[in-house]
Amino acid sequence: MSHGPATDVRVRRALRSDLDALAELEQAFPGDRMARSSFARLLARDSAEVWVAELGGQVVGDAVVLFRRGFDSARLYSMVVDQRFRGRGIARSLLEAAEEGARERGVVVMRLEVREENAPALALYRRAGYVVVGRADDYYQDHAAALRLRKRFVKGGATVRGVPFHPQSFSFTSGSACLMMAMRHHGYPVPLDRWLELALWREATTTFTRKGDGGLSAHGLAVAASRRGFQSRVVTPDAGVPFDGVLQGEAREVARISHAGFERELRGLGGKVEVRAFDHQDAADAVERGAVPLVLLAGFDPEREHPEQPGRWLVVTGFDADHLYLHDPLVAEGEARADNVHLAMKKEAFDRACRHPEAAQRAMVLVERWGSVSRRQPDDG
């Protein structure tokens, strides 16, 4: 198939007055359709851009791009062209406008998912420079598989590992969710369910505190990993007991005893602790070596941050010349998992977030590999 450029098509940002047309167009979408109210929400959001293509004053196609504040990556969430006007380059024009809008915001990488059997859409994206980087089984409501595609807008490559994503299912379990992603990446064969999420949190927690993941500590995470046969390493500039400054009485005593116990057990299991400052380069080097870095970041996402619990754990999945790529286990209401994967964060922003003065801890846990002999075998189901 070959089309000339669609010169009579005008692509512009959508307005509220387009809502009816957008809802109507959605009827042509295969599977999971967006409601009029969803479009209304998207139009009101600063973190979304909705584009429409007009032909003779009539809206005949749309494209939706989602952004995350603080990150230089975006997701092409949806694109559809009225059946009657397909095959004349309208999607191509929409895609170009959507990409241009994203680049204006400083976006360096656009991601999208598409049904594996959607040949026209796949051809469109491939032709526009997208490459398939993965596949997700059972992705859509009707259980169809999705292909994951990515396009980089900047020169130079990126190293991005296919770390599987796992969302946290409690407000305080970002650390466990991150460890589970690392474990699965290294081939851990048990289901990533809520029991494991809680079990890891219980094992890794010093004493319950509202600070930083309910008291979960980097050393505790490394111990939970080591008990399951993972080689792990803690890098932290702080030699003291985490949360010590914010705890009192018995809670402080429990935290001190737990921390000392974690240090002892970690050494016994062959884990390492490096007391030194770290930055994006350490995380990138670890990814390069095949390790999965888990890192506590704070101050990068003020909208979602719990004031009493500054910071949460994220997984570093890759890097390029200017960015680190991260999985964020905290999926906000109304977001899909896909909005939280391989988010591009500027290296300077990463360094600020891992040294944030409010953070409960400044630490990185490197989950290096799986397969060393485990002395204890917790029952993960």
Ligand X SMILES: CC(C)(COP(=O)(O)OP(=O)(O)OC[C@H]1O[C@@H](n2cnc3c(N)ncnc32)[C@H](O)[C@@H]1OP(=O)(O)O)[C@@H](O)C(=O)NCCC(=O)NCCS
Residues that bind ligand X (CB under 6 A): 1-3, 28-30, 78-81, 86-92, 114, 118-121, 123-124, 127
Query: Minimal distance in Å, beta carbon 57 to ligand X?
Result: 18
Give backbone dihedrals phi and psi of 309, rounded to 5 degrees, phi first. -130, 65
Unique residue bearing structure tokens 């851990």: 188
Query: Minimal distance in Å, beta carbon 257 to ligand X?
Result: 54
Query: Minimal distance in Å, beta carbon 357 to ligand X?
Result: 42
Structure tokens at 313: 């754990």
Query: Minimal distance in Å, beta carbon 92 to ligand X?
Result: 4
Q: What's the rounded Cα separation, in Å, for the pair 59 and 23?
A: 11
Eight-class DSSP state of 16: G
Per the CB < 8 A criterion, the answer to whether 303 and 30 are in contact is no
The answer for residues whose C-beta is within 8 angstroms of residue 209's C-beta and 6 or more apart is 215, 243, 246, 247, 251, 255, 360
Query: Minimal distance in Å, beta carbon 297 to ligand X?
Result: 31
Unique residue bearing structure tokens 């081939």: 187
The three-state (H, E, C) secondary structure of 102-161, written as one string: HHHCCCCEEEEEEECCCHHHHHHHHHCCCEEEEEECCCCCCCCCEEEEEEECCCCCCEEC
Query: Minimal distance in Å, beta carbon 34 to ligand X?
Result: 11
Eight-class DSSP state of 312: E
Eight-class DSSP state of 225: H
- Is 144 or 198 the residue whose CB approaches ligand X more closely? 144
- Is 150 or 227 the residue whose CB approaches ligand X more closely? 150
Unique residue bearing structure tokens 């500027």: 346
- Is 123 or 275 the residue whose CB approaches ligand X more closely? 123
- Is 52 or 114 the residue whose CB approaches ligand X more closely? 114
- Is 77 or 300 the residue whose CB approaches ligand X more closely? 77
Query: Minimal distance in Å, beta carbon 82 to ligand X?
Result: 8
- Is 80 or 316 the residue whose CB approaches ligand X more closely? 80
- Is 115 or 152 the residue whose CB approaches ligand X more closely? 115
Per the CB < 8 A criterion, the answer to whether 240 and 259 are in contact is no
